[in-house]
A and B are shown apart, each in its own frame.
Chain A
Amino acid sequence: MSPVSRGFHRRHAPDADPSRVPPGQYVTADFPVLSAGPTPRTAVRDWTFSITGAATPKTWTWEEFRALPSEQVTTDIHCVTRWSKLDTTWQGVTLDTLLGQVDHTGTFLLAHCDGGYTTNLPIADVLNGQAWVAFNYGGSPLAAEHGGPARLLVPHLYFWKSAKWVRRLELVDHDVPGFWESYGYNNYGDPWKEQRYAGD
């Protein structure tokens, strides 16, 4: 009998194109749920999304947010805990659209989420079709455990930057480390440069 429980084997996806897998990652067919706290469950009738800080403040209700133009996105995602998932499909509103509705001067943003989670991003990394506030995954409303009703999707960076349950983007003129970044994770998080920890 194997000393290793079958339950602890990773479910690798076969035949993954190695050129799509960043260093140190493995491809999974699952969509692992990572969470540092209880899953928030904000009903869409109570949900709002705001941009504040170095910007003219703006708040959308769920209905207003959903009335904005949205895009279908197929992309690979890469978690710092070493799993990658290929060809994930999302629907969301680009940050170009959202930030285009406010006058702003910020060069960084700090995303604030239900549950208190935060993460930081350069504004340059969320414009030009690089980031979305996603509300559908795989053709269905985004499940709470994956960040529903809506989460950030910034697939060119490690997935902790794609904050679940996002509710507000605070625009700032300097970089402010978020939750994991303040505990030693990399401020930027490029999976292709394997920027997992500070100093990488």
Chain B
Amino acid sequence: MPATDPGARSLPDDPGASSDTLDGNAIGGLLLDVFGTEMTTVTGRCGSCGTASQVGEFTVYLRAPGTVVRCPTCTAILMVFVSARDRTCVDLSGLAELG
């Protein structure tokens, strides 16, 4: 592609793309608080693509106003946790199955 093509303006690299994600083991403590049991070895199935993975293999974004957990295969949102004041809002609707 010609470098002079104005329609092809390349976006700068995203140096934080890889370092901003962790795996599900990074939220083992949060999951223990929410579920009351060790969760990282539990299997969850993505409601979008159907891939089954251990929770510890999920992709986690922590550098955000909340914790967003995504499918390692299709990146669909599987779980969201938001701690607001004295409560934690939990959304598991992206999972077809957990456990």
List A residues at the B interface (Cβ < 8 Å): 32-39, 41, 43-45, 62, 80-81, 116, 141, 143-145, 148-149, 160, 180, 183-185, 196-198
From residue A39, how far is it (CB to closest CB) to chain B in Å? 5
Q: Decide if B9 touches A34 in the complex (CB within 8 Å).
A: no
From residue B4, how far is it (CB to closest CB) to chain A in Å? 13
Which of B8, B12, B13, B87 is packed against the most chain A CB atoms within 10 Å? Answer: B12
Q: Decide if A34 touches B63 in the complex (CB within 8 Å).
A: yes
Q: Decide if B63 touches A183 in the complex (CB within 8 Å).
A: no
B: contact size bracket: 20 to 34
List B residues at the A interface (Cβ < 8 Å): 5-17, 20, 61, 63-66, 68, 70, 75, 77, 80, 82, 84-85, 87, 89, 91
Of the candidates A45, A148, A196, which one forms a contact with B8 in the assembled complex, judged by CB atoms under 8 Å apart?
A45
Q: Which residues of B contact A32 (CB under 8 A)?
A: 63
Q: Decide if B65 touches A180 in the complex (CB within 8 Å).
A: yes
Q: Decide if A197 touches B85 in the complex (CB within 8 Å).
A: yes
* Distance, CA A45 to CA B6, complexed state (A): 8
Query: A184 and B17 in contact (CB under 8 A), knowing A34-B64, A38-B75?
Result: no
* Distance, CA A97 to CA B17, complexed state (A): 33
Of the candidates A37, A196, A198, which one forms a contact with B68 in the assembled complex, judged by CB atoms under 8 Å apart?
A37
21 inter-chain pairs at a CB distance below 8 angstroms, sorted by A residue, are A34-B65, A35-B63, A36-B61, A36-B64, A37-B70, A80-B65, A81-B65, A116-B77, A141-B9, A143-B14, A144-B11, A145-B14, A145-B15, A180-B82, A183-B80, A183-B82, A184-B82, A184-B84, A184-B89, A185-B82, A197-B85
